[in-house]
Amino acid sequence: MMMDGQTAIEAVQPAETARKRKGSYVAAIARGTCSLIRGLKVTFVEFFTRKTTERYPENRGTLTLFDRFRGTLAMPCDEAGNNRCTACGLCATTCPNGTLRIESETVADPETGKKKKRLLAYEYNLGSCMFCQLCVNVCPAQAIRFDTAFEHAVFTRDKLVKILNKQIQTHGNNA
Per-residue model confidence as pLDDT tens digits over 58-111: 888 888 888 889 999 999 988 888 899 999 999 999 999 999 999 999 999 888
Is the pLDDT at 14 greater than 70, yes or no? no
Burial class (CB in 10 A: 0-12, 13-18, 19+), 161: middle
Residue of 174 and 38 predicted with greater confidence: 38
Determine the length of the chain.
175
Is there a contact between 171 and 131 (Cβ–Cβ < 8 Å)? no
pLDDT digits (tens, 9 = 90+) for 115-128: 989 999 999 999 99
- How many other C-beta atoms are found inside a 10 Å radius of the C-beta of residue 37? 9
Supply the pTM of this predicted model: 0.63
d(C-alpha 115, C-alpha 162), whole Å: 28
* Secondary structure (DSSP) of 110-163: TTT--EEEEEEEEEEETTT-----HHHHH-TT---EEES------SSGGGGEEE
Rg (CA), the chain: 32
127-141 residue pLDDT tens: 999 999 999 999 999
